[in-house]
Amino acid sequence: MTSPEPFPTDWQTALVLVAHPDDPEYGMAAAVARWTGEGKRVVYALASSGERGIEGMTPAECGPLREAEQRASAKIVGVDEVEFWGFPDSDIRNTPELRAKITETVERIAPQVILSLYGGPEWAPGQPNQRDHMEFAAAVLDAYDALSAHSGEVPAWLFENGPAATHAVDVDAQFEVAVRSLAAHDRYLSVLDPDTPVLDQARAQIDRATAPRDDVRVAGFELKRTR
């Protein structure tokens, strides 16, 4: 297997496009912490508020809670710009409305880099991807392609955070801050697995997401589009 290339460094603004709260934290947060520490601007945009994501809570209760946890989590890794678009959790579709919102956000933020969700059917054999993630990732690709066809100003790179990494970011120094960032989704994780302390859940996930290559922890990204 070919080793991933170093992630590009000649950019200033990245736009993280995801479907739900906690999506950035499961695989991107360590890289985001490194980039913001280097003075780069990172913006989070979320299609939904994850309002159907906590068992036993109504959407009216859950949505604001998860938004608050996401903002707190983002702040830990140096992200102060977080927006929620209000698309329905668990029913996200690659619709013209979603693609239009992605396009509007890309044009407004003007990033050089887009970081999106993995859109494949499985993370590994027997580990299916979520439908929301697949639909959202497809919408991002379609919106980017439409921009490329009709505008001279498009982000230079579009990456997905998935299992087939083509590029990697050294995040050895950002491991603990990424753990804290995921653990900020305290209510969500405590209901998801009530038998495992939240910090232990977060540490195990970040350990998997930043598996070392050549003894260095890395966050991996797959290049999907470039201009």
Q: What is the pLDDT of residue 149?
A: 78
Instruction: Specify the pLDDT at position 152.
Output: 61
**Model confidence band, residue 1 (pLDDT cutoffs 50, 70, 90):** low
What predicted TM-score, i.e. pTM, was given to this entire model?
0.96
Task: Give the pLDDT of residue 151.
Answer: 62
Residue 219 forms beta bridges with which residues? 169
pLDDT band at 69 (very low <50, low <70, confident <90, very high): very high
- Please give the backbone phi and psi of residue 128, each rounded to the nearest 5 degrees, phi first: -70, 150
* Average pLDDT of every residue of the chain: 96
Output the pLDDT for position 73. Answer: 98
pLDDT at 2: 76
Report DSSP letters for the chain, one per residue.
-PPPEEPP-S-SEEEEEESSTTTTTTTTHHHHHHHHHTT-EEEEEES---TT-STT--HHHHHHHHHHHHHHHHHHTT--EEEE--PPTT-----HHHHHHHHHHHHHH--SEEEEE--SSEEETTEEPPHHHHHHHHHHHHHHHHHHHH-S---SEEEEESSS-SEEEE-GGGHHHHHHHHHT-HHHHHHH-TTS-HHHHHHHHHHHHT-EETTEEEEEEEEEEE-
**Arithmetic mean of pLDDT, 69-87:** 98
CB atoms within 10 A of CB 216: 11
Distance CA 168, CA 148 (A): 25
Q: What is the predicted pLDDT for the residue at 148?
A: 78
